[in-house]
Amino acid sequence: MSHFLKHIDAMTGYVPGEQPRDRTFIKLNTNENPYPPSQKVAEAMMPILLDGRLRLYPDPVASEFRRTAAELHEVDPSWIMAGNGSDDILTILTRAFAGPGDVIASAQPGYILYETLSDLQNAKFEIVPFPVNWTIGPEHIIGLKNPKIFYLANPNSPSGTIMTPEAVAQLAEALPCPLVVDEAYGDFATTNCISLVKSHPNVIVSRTFSKGYSLAGLRLGYCIARPEIIAGLNKVKDSYNCDMLSLAGGTAALLDQEWLIETRQKIWNTRARLSSGAAELGYLIPESHANFIWCEGGPPAQEVYDALRDRDILVRLMKYPGREPALRITVGTDPQIDALLSALAEIV
C-alpha cells in the first residue's frame, strides 16, 4: 500500500538529461557551458571556506547578491529574489500561484519541467502549441480557461527560438495571470524581457547562472518581478534556499561582465559553425538564440543519437507528442564540435 498522495503516485517525475559518471563522453546533452567559470568566482568563495564562516546560516534574503543583480538590471533590490538554481524559482512560482485543479499553461515544445511542477501541484497542465513562426500571440491562448500561470521559455528550449519583447508584451496583455518568462538562456540572446517587468505587472523574468555564467554545479538563479510579487514569493521559499558559497560566487560572476561577453562570443562563433554543419547534413534548424541547436527532420534522430553515443558523444534525444523525435545539441568547445561534426558526417 502506498502512503503517497494519489497524484504523486500517478506522476512519472522529471527525468533530467543524463549525467554520466563512468565514461568520458563529449557531453553535449544538457546545455552546460563548455568553458570554466570566471576566476573571480573561486576567489570570492575561497575565503568563506577558509575562515570558518560556514558555521553560520547564510543571509536568508541574499542582500548583497540582490544589490549587485539589481544594479546590473537597473531595478531596485526589492524587485529580485534569489533561488537555488532557476528550477527552485520555478518551483516557488508554481507553488505560489497554482493549486489542485488549477490550469497551468505553457507553450510547447518547451521545457519539460513545467509539466512536472504542474503535476506536483495536482494542477491541470495545458499545452499551447507553438505556431511555425515560434511566436505565441493572443489568438493562440483564446482556448485557455482561467490559467493561473503561463510559462514561456524565451529563448525557448528545445528550439532555441526567441519571441521579441514586443510579442511577449502582447501575450502578457492578453493573459489574466502571471507570465513567467524563463530566460535561462537569456545571456546568449541579444534581446530580453527585463524591461517588461516594469511596464507589465504580470511579467516575471527568471534567470540562471547555470548556462551563461558556466555555474551549473553551483545552483543559483533569481527572478525579477514587482516588489509585491517578490514579497509574496518570499513567503513561499525556504528560509535559507541559497547557500553562502553560491551567493558569493554568483555575485562575483555578475561583477565580471567582461568574462561573460568574451565567453558568449566564443559560443556564438561555434554555434554558427555547428548550425551550418548540421544543416548541411539535412537537418532543419531554427535560428538559435541560445547555447544549443535543435535538429528536426533529416537523418533519423534515434539512430543518430545511438551511433553518436557509441562514439562517446552525448546529445539529447527529445520526443514531443505529435512531432518526430529530434536532437538537441549543446554548443561545446571548437574541438568538441569538430569531433561531433566528423562523427555525424561518418554516421549519416
Ligand X SMILES: Cc1ncc(COP(=O)(O)O)c(C=O)c1O
Q: What is the rounded distance in angstroms from the CA atom of residue 127 to the CA atom of residue 129?
A: 6
Contact range with ligand X by CB under 6 A, out of 170-178, 208-216, 222-230, 259-267: 208-216
CB of 187 to ligand X, least distance (A): 12
Closest CB to ligand X among residues 210, 336: 210
Q: Binding residue for ligand X (CB under 6 A) from 111, 125, 213, 283?
A: 111
**Judged by CB, which is closer to ligand X: 84, or 270?**
84
State which residue, 87 or 115, has the beta carbon closest to ligand X: 87
* Spatial CB neighbours of 81, under 8 Å, sequence gap ≥ 6: 62, 66, 89, 92, 222, 223, 225, 230, 233, 234, 237
Phi (first) and psi of residue 273, to 5 degrees: -65, -40
Query: Which run of H or of E encompasses 19?
Result: none
Residue 159 · residue 111 · CB < 8 Å: no
**CB nearer ligand X, residue 214 or residue 336:** 214
What phi and psi values does residue 64 have, to the nearest 5 degrees? -70, -40
Site for ligand X in 78-107 (CB under 6 A): 85-87
To the nearest whole angstrom, how small is the minimum distance from the Cβ of residue 216 to ligand X? 5
Tell me if 263 contacts ligand X by CB under 6 A: no
Among 208, 241, 246, 263, binds ligand X (CB under 6 A): 208
Cβ 37 to ligand X shortest distance, Å? 14
Contact between 285 and 279 under an 8 Å Cβ cutoff? The reply is yes
Inter-CA distances, 24 with 107, 311, 336, Å: 35, 11, 12
- Residues ≥6 apart with Cβ < 8 Å to 87: 113, 221
User: Given the complex with ligand X, which of 34 and 221 has the nearer CB atom?
Assistant: 221
The distance of closest approach from Cβ of residue 256 to ligand X in the complex, given in angstroms and rounded to an integer, is 19
Q: Are 310 and 322 in contact (CB under 8 A)?
A: no
Q: Which of 29, 31, 38, 91 binds ligand X (CB under 6 A)?
A: 31
**Smallest distance, Å, CB 94 to ligand X?**
13
Asked if the peptide bond before residue 37 counts as cis, ω within 30 degrees of 0, the response is no
169, 136 contact by CB (below 8 A): no
Rounded CA separation 38/173 (Å):
39
Nearer to ligand X, 87 or 119 (CB): 87
Quick note: the x/- pattern for ligand X over 216-235, rule CB under 6 A, is x----x--------------
Are residues 181 and 193 in contact, defined by beta-carbon separation less than 8 angstroms?
A: yes
- Residue selected from 94, 157, 161, 241 as contacting ligand X according to rule CB under 6 A: 157
169-198 residues in contact with ligand X (CB under 6 A) are 182, 184
DSSP string, 142-188: TT--SEEEEEEESS-TTT-----HHHHHHHHHH-SS-EEEE-TTGGG
Question: Residues in contact with ligand X, total (CB under 6 A)?
Answer: 13
For ligand X, the closer CB: 202 or 291? 291
Counting contacts by CB under 6 A, is residue 154 touching ligand X? Answer: no
Residue ranges in contact with ligand X by CB under 6 A: 31, 85-87, 111, 153, 157, 182, 184, 208, 210, 216, 221
